[in-house]
């Protein structure tokens, strides 16, 4: 019963926030406003699915915003050369997965903390994006590509695909089970025969792949590519994942909670816009929610250890 109540906390929080905003900002009750929240949630949610498995495994990935930027300019360059849309998508997904593998290999083989590794690749991937994307007019893409980001159906379908894929991996595969085990105690997981280092490479590859999917949707929606995309995006997706109940300390969480966490952030942002609150207060509000979410996580872990 206690575990169910803990899992329901983010959902209850979302309903409370939505209810309060509907009272003070009646315009948010309209379907168009709710639809806008859902549409604006897609890019963050796609990326956050990959962040979920990274955090569950007890690790961190600060490079996803830079991976998004790099994939954006790779896709933009391929389309700029008037090559097939399918090739552009394949190139973007391949680059995202490759960036993730680089992160995974560095974390697994060097022993350097994930914070430092992904902080370094954050800067490196952003640098490469600037090298290949600065000074080019990468815009006015084919309609077949823009369909992936425009309207309601395309982005929502890709978002659902990423959520279902991550749910399946976490709940139905050995990689998912191993991620929870390693997040709980990586040394015990290793002694139990779990290939922790190999799994890290797969986990980070998934993080890079979901960042690439998010980049493709965003590029198609905005119809132009620039290396300036994704700045501070990694902080937002980590925040959404933690608010959704995934522990910063590893071993706990799920993609269902991440969906709710993203919706909480986007609902607060939309509500404050409807209330005509200055944009900097949005950052204050989200920052406060993040601190509360982590604090709750810390308290729950303390209670668990006390009871044990």
**DSSP secondary-structure letter at 250?**
S
Whether 245 and 14 have beta carbons less than 8 Å apart is answered as no
- CATH 1.10.3470, applies to 31-302: yes
What is each CA distance from 230 to 7, 235, 239, in whole angstroms? Answer: 30, 10, 15
Residue 304, pLDDT above cutoff 80: no
Give the integer Cα–Cα distance in Å for 233 and 18: 24
Looking at the whole model, is its pTM more than 0.75?
yes
- Would you kindly state where each structural domain of the chain is located, as residue ranges? 31-302
Per-residue pLDDT of 255-294, as tens digits, reads: 999 999 999 999 988 888 888 888 778 778 777 877 887 7
Q: Which of 57-66, 163-172, 209-218, 284-293 has the lowest mean pLDDT?
A: 284-293
């Amino acid at each position: 019963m206690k575990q169910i109540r803990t899992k329901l906390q983010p959902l209850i929080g979302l309903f409370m926030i939505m209810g309060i905003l509907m009272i003070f900002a009646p315009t948010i009750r309209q379907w168009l406003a709710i639809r806008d929240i859902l549409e604006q949630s897609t890019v963050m949610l796609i990326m956050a699915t990959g962040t979920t498995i990274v955090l569950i495994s007890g690790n961190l990935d600060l490079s996803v915003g830079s991976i998004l930027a790099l994939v954006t300019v790779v896709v933009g360059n391929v389309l700029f050369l008037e090559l097939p849309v399918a090739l552009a998508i394949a190139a973007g997904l391949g680059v995202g997965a490759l960036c993730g593998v680089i992160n995974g290999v560095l974390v697994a083989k060097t022993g350097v903390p994930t914070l430092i590794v992904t902080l370094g690749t954050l800067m490196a991937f952003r640098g490469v994006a600037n090298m290949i994307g600065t000074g080019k007019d990468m815009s006015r893409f084919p309609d077949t590509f823009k369909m992936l980001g425009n309207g309601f159906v395309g982005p929502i379908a890709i978002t659902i695909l990423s959520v279902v894929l991550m749910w399946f991996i976490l709940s139905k595969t050995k990689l998912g089970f191993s991620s929870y085990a390693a997040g709980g105690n990586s040394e015990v997981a290793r002694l139990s025969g779990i290939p922790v280092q190999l799994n890290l490479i797969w986990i980070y590859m998934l993080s890079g792949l979901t960042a690439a999917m998010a980049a493709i949707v965003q590029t198609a929606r905005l119809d132009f590519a620039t290396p300036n995309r994704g700045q501070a995006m990694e902080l937002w997706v980590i925040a959404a994942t933690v608010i959704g109940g995934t522990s910063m300390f590893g071993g706990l969480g799920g993609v269902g909670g991440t969906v709710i966490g993203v919706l909480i952030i986007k609902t607060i942002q939309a509500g404050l816009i409807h209330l005509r609150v200055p944009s900097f207060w949005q950052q204050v509000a989200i920052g406060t929610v993040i601190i509360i979410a982590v604090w709750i996580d810390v308290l729950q872990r303390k209670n668990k250890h006390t009871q044990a």
